[in-house]
């Protein structure tokens, strides 16, 4: 792992490296930022540790620009002084992409104070916001305009639009609306030398050059600093219903998915697979929850349907689907949400899996994807092999079946027979087994969480030399001095454990 050594010592105590900026240089940075610079260790600390508290870094300071001009000034100052820049949004990433390393050489550039809503255009169904606007606030602004921003994540209260786009965030509505990438029409970006690229277009069609927008999206701050974006909004559905469905196997779930897609088309807005182990953890740790289906099936689906017409039509379509699925024996039981509260309760079971797993102690997580048709075989083979070789581990498997995206997680034995260090010592070898099997199915070892420092070496291991060379050449073209978020996304395959 390329993570930094834990430290709580800020640069005001230890100072940057010998070749780093002088006190006068820092003063010029502070002036360029109109004073919006933190340098005290206590002030900087929350910005220097990641959300999972797995990586802690150091920095020469934390810049909090209030304007795009201040972002440019900070980046120019960094370019002048050869100082690395680590951009950060809500700091909710799961792969360590938004914190600096332990060298203390970098400037942490927080975009959170850049948080204006710039424009809402209901006729064009677009919303233009600064990078630091939180996802939840963007959702609310869209709702006030009678529209929907169809991006939804657990961290939406604090994650930012800039971070969502820098990591191409996923979530629960990808099946219908795509990833963050698919919701973005235009970007404004500060380049590595502090220039401003105004790609803030609201166009559904534009073929006048290479797709710079999609190059910056998902680049985790290593090619430029996103300062604003135009987001694509959708009509709000008039009715939303959910069903919990008992399925015997992942293969049956896949058959049901095909039937649902054929019958419901774009009315199908979520198709989540949950193993009974996941449900067991939720029932154990989350007060007020109860099993929705008895007898408890080995697998459960959460199927969501949205309709632009009335609720009756949605209900009829969902019941027709479930009737047909029962007849074909794709499922053995199902319950449809009868009210808004029940709809929320169904989703609550799904959304509490991560929390419930955290309550079991340490976790080993895999955010994988593969062709949808390969998922049942993967689950069966990997599940059998891991149960044979690690019989006491709890397999906490759930995910977005409609996207071929699984959260293939593991927890220590429920009986406490393996302590945390012993469990975590298994991580490299378990990562290798899971990811090798994913690669054999032409899948991805990071479906929606990005590479950061967590997965960069492993990603390099699974990529061809041709692809690695292409990625490096793009990096060198747009950030020739390597000052933008260094150490993220790129690593040597030899650095991957075990």
Residues 282 to 321: which contact its own copies by CB under 8 A? Answer: 306-309, 313, 317
411 to 450: interface string for its own copies, x by CB under 8 A: -------------------------------xxxxxxxxx
The distance of closest approach from Cβ of residue 86 to its own copies in the complex, given in angstroms and rounded to an integer, is 18
Nearest CA to 61 among 73, 80, 45? Answer: 45
CA 37 from centre of chain: 28
The distance of closest approach from Cβ of residue 405 to its own copies in the complex, given in angstroms and rounded to an integer, is 5
Helix 427-440, helix 375-389: angle, nearest 10:
150
Which span (73-81, 136-144, 367-375, 413-421) binds its own copies, by CB under 8 A? 367-375
Q: Tell me whether residue 4 or residue 174 sits nearer to its own copies (CB atom).
A: 174
Which span (2-10, 176-184, 327-335, 416-424) binds its own copies, by CB under 8 A? 176-184
Q: Is residue 372 within the footprint of its own copies (CB under 8 A)?
A: yes
Counting residues that bind its own copies (by CB under 8 A) gives 99
Q: Residue 296 contacts by C-beta under 8 Å, 6 or more apart in sequence? A: 276, 279
Q: Tell me whether residue 129 or residue 200 sits nearer to its own copies (CB atom).
A: 200
Selected binder of its own copies within 39, 79, 196, 326 (CB under 8 A): 196
CA–CA distances in Å: residue 47 to residues 44, 192, 275, 431: 6, 22, 36, 28
Q: Tell me whether residue 57 or residue 150 sits nearer to its own copies (CB atom).
A: 150
The distance of closest approach from Cβ of residue 248 to its own copies in the complex, given in angstroms and rounded to an integer, is 17
Selected binder of its own copies within 41, 345, 386, 471 (CB under 8 A): 471
CA 70 – CA 337 distance, rounded (Å): 49
The distance of closest approach from Cβ of residue 349 to its own copies in the complex, given in angstroms and rounded to an integer, is 22
The distance of closest approach from Cβ of residue 450 to its own copies in the complex, given in angstroms and rounded to an integer, is 5
CA 146 – CA 233 distance, rounded (Å): 10
Taking CB under 8 A as the criterion, which residues in 219-248 touch its own copies? 219, 223, 234-237
CA 293 – CA 304 distance, rounded (Å): 17
Selected binder of its own copies within 473, 481, 492, 495 (CB under 8 A): 473
CA 149 – CA 183 distance, rounded (Å): 8
Grouping H, G, I as helix, E, B as strand and the rest as coil, residue 43 is helix
Helix 250-264, helix 375-389: angle, nearest 10:
160
Nearest CA to 85 among 487, 490, 492, 497? Answer: 487
Which span (9-17, 27-35, 179-187, 386-394) binds its own copies, by CB under 8 A? 179-187
If phi > 0 it is left, if psi is from -120 to 50 it is alpha, else beta; for residue 90 that is: alpha
Q: Is residue 207 within the footprint of its own copies (CB under 8 A)?
A: yes
Peptide linkage before 456 cis (omega within 30 of 0): no
CA 135 – CA 116 distance, rounded (Å): 13
Q: Tell me whether residue 354 or residue 369 sits nearer to its own copies (CB atom).
A: 369
The distance of closest approach from Cβ of residue 487 to its own copies in the complex, given in angstroms and rounded to an integer, is 15
Q: Is residue 350 within the footprint of its own copies (CB under 8 A)?
A: no
Q: Is residue 179 within the footprint of its own copies (CB under 8 A)?
A: yes
The distance of closest approach from Cβ of residue 40 to its own copies in the complex, given in angstroms and rounded to an integer, is 35
CA 286 – CA 361 distance, rounded (Å): 15
Taking CB under 8 A as the criterion, which residues in 135-174 touch its own copies? 146, 167-168, 170, 174
The distance of closest approach from Cβ of residue 247 to its own copies in the complex, given in angstroms and rounded to an integer, is 15
The distance of closest approach from Cβ of residue 488 to its own copies in the complex, given in angstroms and rounded to an integer, is 11
Selected binder of its own copies within 27, 31, 425, 470 (CB under 8 A): 470
Nearest CA to 204 among 121, 297, 83? Answer: 121
Selected binder of its own copies within 115, 116, 117, 197 (CB under 8 A): 197
Selected binder of its own copies within 39, 102, 117, 215 (CB under 8 A): 215
Q: Residue 378 contacts by C-beta under 8 Å, 6 or more apart in sequence? A: 370, 406, 437, 438, 441, 443
Burial class (CB in 10 A: 0-12, 13-18, 19+), 295: exposed
CA 254 – CA 257 distance, rounded (Å): 5
Grouping H, G, I as helix, E, B as strand and the rest as coil, residue 426 is coil
The distance of closest approach from Cβ of residue 496 to its own copies in the complex, given in angstroms and rounded to an integer, is 13
Q: Tell me whether residue 265 or residue 391 sits nearer to its own copies (CB atom).
A: 265
Q: Is residue 59 within the footprint of its own copies (CB under 8 A)?
A: no
Q: Do residues 63 and 110 lie in contact, with contact meaning Cβ atoms separated by under 8 Å? A: yes
Locus of tokens 């424009």: 119
Taking CB under 8 A as the criterion, which residues in 117-136 touch its own copies? 121-126
According to DSSP, the residues that pair with 306 across neighbouring strands are 240
Take residue 188 and report the two structure tokens written for it: 């404004």
Q: Tell me whether residue 264 or residue 302 sits nearer to its own copies (CB atom).
A: 264
Taking CB under 8 A as the criterion, which residues in 13-52 touch its own copies? none
The distance of closest approach from Cβ of residue 121 to its own copies in the complex, given in angstroms and rounded to an integer, is 5
Read off the DSSP letter of residue 454.
T
The distance of closest approach from Cβ of residue 415 to its own copies in the complex, given in angstroms and rounded to an integer, is 35
Q: Do residues 186 and 229 lie in contact, with contact meaning Cβ atoms separated by under 8 Å? A: yes
């Amino acid at each position: 792992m390329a993570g930094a050594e834990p430290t709580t010592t800020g640069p005001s105590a230890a100072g940057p490296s010998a070749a780093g900026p002088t006190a006068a240089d820092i003063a010029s940075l502070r002036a360029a930022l109109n004073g919006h610079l933190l340098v005290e260790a206590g002030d900087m600390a929350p910005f220097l540790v990641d959300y999972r508290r797995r990586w802690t870094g150091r920095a020469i300071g934390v810049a909090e620009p209030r304007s795009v001009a201040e972002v440019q000034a900070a980046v120019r100052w960094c370019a002048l002084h050869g100082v690395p820049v680590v951009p950060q949004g809500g700091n909710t990433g799961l792969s360590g992409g938004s914190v600096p390393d332990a060298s203390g050489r970098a400037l942490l550039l927080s975009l959170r104070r850049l948080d204006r809503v710039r424009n809402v255009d209901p006729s064009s169904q677009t919303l233009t916001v600064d990078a630091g606007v939180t996802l939840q606030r963007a959702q609310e602004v869209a709702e006030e305009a009678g529209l929907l921003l169809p991006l939804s994540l657990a961290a939406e209260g604090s994650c930012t639009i800039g971070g969502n786009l820098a990591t191409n965030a996923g979530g629960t509505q990808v099946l219908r609306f795509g990833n963050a990438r698919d919701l973005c029409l235009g970007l404004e970006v500060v380049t590595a030398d502090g220039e401003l690229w105004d790609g803030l277009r609201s166009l559904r069609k534009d073929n006048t050059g290479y797709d710079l927008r999609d190059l910056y999206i998902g680049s985790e701050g290593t090619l430029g600093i996103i300062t604003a974006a135009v987001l694509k909004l959708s009509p709000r559905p008039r009715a939303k219903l959910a069903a919990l469905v008992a399925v015997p196997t992942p293969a049956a779930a896949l058959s049901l998915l095909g039937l649902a897609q054929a019958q419901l088309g774009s009315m199908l807005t979520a198709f989540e697979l949950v193993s009974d182990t996941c449900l067991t953890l939720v029932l154990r740790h989350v007060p007020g929850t109860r099993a929705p289906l008895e007898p408890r099936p080995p697998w459960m689906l959460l199927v969501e349907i949205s309709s632009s017409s009335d609720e009756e039509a949605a209900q009829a379509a969902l019941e027709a689907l479930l009737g047909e699925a029962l007849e074909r024996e794709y499922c053995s039981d199902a319950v449809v949400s009868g009210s808004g509260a029940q709809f929320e309760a169904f989703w609550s079971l799904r959304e509490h899996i991560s929390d419930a797993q955290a309550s079991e102690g340490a976790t080993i997580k895999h955010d994988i994807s593969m062709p949808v048709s390969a998922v049942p075989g993967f689950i069966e083979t990997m599940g059998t092999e891991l149960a044979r070789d690690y019989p006491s581990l709890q397999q906490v498997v759930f995910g977005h079946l409609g996207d071929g995206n699984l959260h293939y997680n593991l927890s220590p034995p429920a009986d406490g027979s393996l302590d945390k260090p012993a469990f975590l010592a298994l991580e490299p070898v378990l990562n290798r087994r899971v990811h090798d099997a994913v690669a054999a199915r032409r899948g991805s070892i990071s479906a929606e969480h990005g590479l950061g420092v967590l997965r960069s070496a492993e990603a390099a291991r699974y990529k061809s030399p041709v692809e690695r060379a292409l990625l490096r050449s793009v990096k060198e073209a747009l950030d020739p001095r390597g000052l933008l978020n260094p150490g993220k996304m790129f690593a040597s395959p030899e650095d991957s454990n075990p």
